[in-house]
Amino acid sequence: MNINKSIAFFQEAQKLFPGGVNSPVRAFRAVGGQPLFIERGEGAYLFDVDGNRFIDYVLSWGSLITGHAHPTVIEAIQQAATKGTSYGAPSPLEIDLAKSIMDFLPNIEMIRFVNSGTEATMSALRLARAYTKRDKIIKFDGCYHGHADMLLVQAGSGVATLGLPDSPGVPATVAADTLVANFNDLDSVEALFKKYPGQIAGIIVEPVAGNMGVVPPQTGFLEGLRKLTTEYGAVLIFDEVMTGFRVHRGGAQTLYNIKPDLTTLGKVIGGGLPVGAYGGKKEIMQMVAPLGPMYQAGTLSGNPLAMSAGIAALSLIREEECWRKLEQAAAKLEAGVLSAAQHAGVPIQQTRVGTMFTTFFSETKPTDWNTVKVANKIRFGKFFQKMLENGVYLAPSQFEAGFISTMHTDDVIEKTIGAGTEVFRTW
């Protein structure tokens, strides 16, 4: 595959950006080779600067559930842009997107828009601390909630990919208030509540872990978190930046029928433009300035372009039929890749919830970070590169999720299974 132009761009980019990229996981550090520079996206496909076409399963890390450059989304952005790009003042578009989100996620009674998932989780944790007047928070080993200081403790995604134990630059005093439990292990959570009585403001959890690769919650885990947080007076935050509009039409909170106190969102709600949000119980959200004393702000929050893109994207995934088709496509892909690996005698674990999935090169069923970190990263890198050669663009890390879109039609899924079959046939 000719990637000469990407090579030239990467050489130039490395002089300008740390590692040549503007987000670490894009650097292909865990899978070898170098990142491809992208010319354009269209539907289920990415086209790089050398003219290579790939079926895209990254989809801007889950953001593009309607695929690249969907005409309805592009039209909405173009129309909005003719009226200006930012007002720094309220607009009806914020109301429209908020109401649309609440139609999908009725547990959200009040919401605040920000510009990224990191801003959403950072703000939700500040709010939990303000509401409970407590300082400590619980997160889970291998889960990633963005790059705010207090969350870069035993985190997943790029932190795990690059083998960074945590991150320098996070003061020990900040990290000390972040307690880490094991995903799918309620005893590890209860032990922290017993050890720090009256000090824990909240739990933040990816209700389906996606940032250590996809690891579903075991039966009773999320219910147990709900019970413990209620019992100990702590705030339960579902970080649905990834799972929202991905694992179910109503997110993980609908799929598992759990009512979190706060929910954080991002990715899909911006339709590919920068939007994050946090919301939930009105009693808690009323603490947010200017209504309450907890301060959080943003120059471009509620930006009309981003609101318009989000409104358009969500309008395309409202119908139950859309979700039935997404489930059918994702299930077919999962079965096809598993069958190809089994025929080749290559041990893999396929995990999937709704439209997010991971292929682990491991003989151990993934249930938490400890069972995920033993996966064979060398084999994953080989799989990634061979799939790329066969026209399929996967997330460049074993500790990430793959995603499908409404544009991943049956022939696209068939082509992907064909690529996987070829890769394993010549393994």
CB of 125 to ligand KE4, least distance (A): 12
Catalytic residue, chosen from 185, 239, 261, 368, is 239
Sole binder of ligand KE4 in the list 52, 100, 121, 371 (CB under 6 A): 121
Residue 274: Cβ within 10 Å count: 18
Catalytic residue, chosen from 136, 267, 373, 377, is 267
Sole binder of ligand KE4 in the list 211, 253, 263, 406 (CB under 6 A): 211
Q: What does the alpha-carbon distance between residue 257 and residue 267 come to, in Å, rounded to a whole number?
A: 22
The neighbouring-strand residues paired with 200 are 136
> Nearer Cβ to ligand KE4, position 117 or 142?
117
Q: Give kind and range of the element (H or E) at residue 188.
A: helix 186-195
Print the binding letters for residues 229-268 with ligand KE4: x by CB under 6 A, - otherwise: ----------x-xx-----------------------x--
Which structure tokens are listed for 344? 């080749």
CB of 36 to ligand KE4, least distance (A): 15
Sole binder of ligand KE4 in the list 35, 146, 366, 396 (CB under 6 A): 146
Looking up tokens 């084999």, which residue turns up?
A: 379
> Nearer Cβ to ligand KE4, position 57 or 193?
57
First to last CA, the chain: 19
Burial of 402 (0-12, 13-18, 19+ CB in 10 A): buried
Q: Using CB under 6 A, which of the segments 65-73, 144-152, 338-346, 416-424 binds ligand KE4?
A: 144-152
Q: What does the alpha-carbon distance between residue 333 and residue 410 come to, in Å, rounded to a whole number?
A: 9
Residue 146: Cβ within 10 Å count: 21
> Nearer Cβ to ligand KE4, position 159 or 288?
159
What is the per-residue DSSP string for 225-291? Answer: HHHHHHHHT-EEEEE-TTTBTTTBTTHHHHHTT---SEEEE-GGGGTTS--EEEEE-HHHHTTBTTT
Residues 276-335 that bind ligand KE4 (CB under 6 A): 276
Catalytic residue, chosen from 144, 232, 256, 393, is 144
Q: What does the alpha-carbon distance between residue 375 and residue 363 come to, in Å, rounded to a whole number?
A: 8
Asked if 177 is an active-site residue, the reply is no
Examine residue 116 and tell whether it contacts ligand KE4 (CB under 6 A).
yes
How distant is the alpha carbon of residue 416 from its chain centre? 22
Phi then psi dihedrals of residue 85, to 5 deg: -105, -20
Asked if 239 is an active-site residue, the reply is yes
Sole binder of ligand KE4 in the list 2, 23, 85, 230 (CB under 6 A): 23
> Is the bond leading into 290 cis (omega within 30 degrees of zero)?
yes
Q: What does the alpha-carbon distance between residue 134 and residue 251 come to, in Å, rounded to a whole number?
A: 28
Which structure tokens are listed for 414? 């068939």
**Residue 402 contacts residue 34 (beta carbons within 8 Å):** no
Q: What does the alpha-carbon distance between residue 202 and residue 286 come to, in Å, rounded to a whole number?
A: 17
Residues 55-84 that bind ligand KE4 (CB under 6 A): 61
CB of 187 to ligand KE4, least distance (A): 24
Q: Using CB under 6 A, which of the segments 111-119, 166-174, 224-232, 362-370 binds ligand KE4?
A: 111-119
> Nearer Cβ to ligand KE4, position 129 or 145?
145
**Residue 188 contacts residue 182 (beta carbons within 8 Å):** yes
> Nearer Cβ to ligand KE4, position 206 or 261?
206
Residues 394-413 that bind ligand KE4 (CB under 6 A): 400
Sole binder of ligand KE4 in the list 9, 37, 144, 323 (CB under 6 A): 144
Asked if 382 is an active-site residue, the reply is no
Angle at 100 between CA 272 and CA 237, to 5 degrees: 80
CB of 289 to ligand KE4, least distance (A): 21
User: How many residues line the site for ligand KE4 (CB under 6 A)?
Assistant: 21
Q: Using CB under 6 A, which of the segments 190-198, 204-212, 287-295, 358-366 binds ligand KE4?
A: 204-212
> Nearer Cβ to ligand KE4, position 237 or 341?
237
CB of 218 to ligand KE4, least distance (A): 19
HEC-encoded secondary structure of 130-177: HHHCCCEEEEECCCCCCCCHHHCCCCCHHHHHCCCCCCCCCCHHHHCC
Q: Using CB under 6 A, which of the segments 2-10, 117-125, 331-339, 362-370 binds ligand KE4?
A: 117-125
Q: What does the alpha-carbon distance between residue 201 and residue 65 come to, in Å, rounded to a whole number?
A: 33
Q: Which residues bind ligand KE4 (CB under 6 A)?
A: 23, 25, 61, 116-118, 121, 144-146, 157-158, 206, 210-211, 239, 241-242, 266, 276, 400
State the catalytic residues.
Answer: 144, 239, 267
